[in-house]
């Protein structure tokens, strides 16, 4: 009955490959996020969707493409992986725009690019 | 650009002592939140303080906010070994998108 779940938990892949990370929330929230946490633990927002509509798109390479098939899911597809993409990626959700901004985080996906 | 800066970056204390972490930010905010991250886990929301509030309590947590100095502090009283984690402040600025901007975190270690 995990609130925000991500798969896979660990992902090891070669440079140049394409990979996807999936996120699902069962909280009934309208807004979902992707964050990247680097090796220094700095957490930075990448994307946000509200009811399947993209509302935040920070300065992220075009190789990263989020997809929200419905408001409970937000997936992240990464093309042509680079060494610098190695990080922990967190999905998060919250109730919706204009509501409490408390966010609920998934357990993270540790991506290692070799 | 990074909004919050936390101080200290690392803190090590004995069980039972109080731990204080500070956060400074740069722009106007709607609210400020504190999150905890245990090693290898996601972040967990601890407490939210609105821009018109000066102090808030939740159990052993006490948060203060000084908007004139653009700073906040998190106090954990009577620390326990289970409090060992990284603590992050996050500001909800005046963005239409309501995005949170996180500080770099304070790594807290409670020694038994």
pLDDT digits (tens, 9 = 90+) for A12-69: 999 999 999 999 999 999 999 999 999 988 999 999 988 888 888 887 899 999 999 9
A48, A98, A105 ranked by CB distance to B42: nearest: A105
- Of all residues in chain A, the one with the smallest CA distance to B107 is A41
- Do residue B48 and residue A102 have CB atoms under 8 angstroms apart? yes
Closest by alpha carbon to B107, among B57, B56, B51, B38? B38
Closest by alpha carbon to B46, among B79, B109, B88, B16? B88
B2, B33, B86 ranked by CB distance to A41: nearest: B86
The residues near A59 (Cβ < 8 Å, ≥ 6 apart) are none
- Neighbouring CB atoms inside 10 A of B60's CB total 14
Report the pLDDT value the prediction gives residue B97, as an integer from 0 to 100: 66
Query: What is the rounded CA–CA span in Å between residue A26 and residue B103?
Result: 28
The bridge status of strand B85-93 relative to strand B29-37 is antiparallel
pLDDT digits (tens, 9 = 90+) for B53-100: 999 999 999 999 999 999 999 999 999 999 999 999 999 877 666 788
DSSP B22-76: EEE-SS-EEEEEEEEE-TTS-EEEEEEEETT-SEEEETTEEEEEETTTTEEEEEE
Query: What is the rounded CA–CA span in Å between residue A58 and residue A46?
Result: 5
- Do residue B100 and residue A101 have CB atoms under 8 angstroms apart? yes
Query: What is the rounded CA–CA span in Å between residue A11 and residue A102?
Result: 28
Of the pLDDT bands very low, low, confident and very high (cuts 50, 70, 90), residue B11 is: very high
Report the pLDDT value the prediction gives residue A1, as an integer from 0 to 100: 62
Q: Which two tokens stand for residue B1?
A: 């650009």
For the CA atoms of chain A, what is the radius of gyration? 13
* Phi, psi torsion values for B105, nearest 5 degrees: 95, 155
* Phi, psi torsion values for B61, nearest 5 degrees: -100, 140
Report the pLDDT value the prediction gives residue B2, as an integer from 0 to 100: 45
- Neighbouring CB atoms inside 10 A of A7's CB total 14
CB-defined contacts A:B, below 8 A? 57
């Amino acid at each position: 009955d995990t609130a925000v779940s991500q798969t896979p938990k660990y992902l090891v892949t070669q440079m140049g490959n394409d990979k996807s990370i999936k996120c699902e929330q069962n909280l009934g929230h309208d807004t979902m996020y992707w964050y990247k946490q680097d090796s220094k633990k700095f957490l930075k927002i990448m994307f946000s969707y509200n009811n399947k509509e993209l509302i935040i798109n920070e300065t992220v390479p075009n190789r990263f493409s989020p997809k929200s098939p419905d408001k409970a899911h937000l997936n992240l597809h990464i093309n042509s992986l680079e060494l610098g993409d190695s990080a922990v990626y967190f999905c998060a959700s919250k109730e919706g725009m204009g509501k409490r901004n408390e966010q609920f985080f998934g357990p993270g996906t540790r991506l290692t690019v070799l | 650009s990074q909004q919050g800066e936390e101080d200290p970056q690392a803190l090590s204390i004995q069980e039972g002592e109080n731990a204080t972490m500070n956060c400074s930010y740069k722009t106007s905010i709607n609210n400020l939140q504190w999150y905890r991250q245990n090693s290898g886990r996601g972040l967990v929301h601890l407490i939210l303080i609105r821009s018109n509030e000066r102090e808030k309590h939740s159990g052993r947590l006490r948060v203060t906010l000084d908007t004139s100095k653009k700073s906040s502090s998190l106090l954990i009283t009577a620390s326990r070994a289970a409090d060992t984690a990284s603590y992050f402040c996050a500001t909800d600025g005046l963005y239409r998108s309501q995005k949170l901007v996180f500080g770099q975190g304070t790594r807290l270690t409670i020694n038994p």
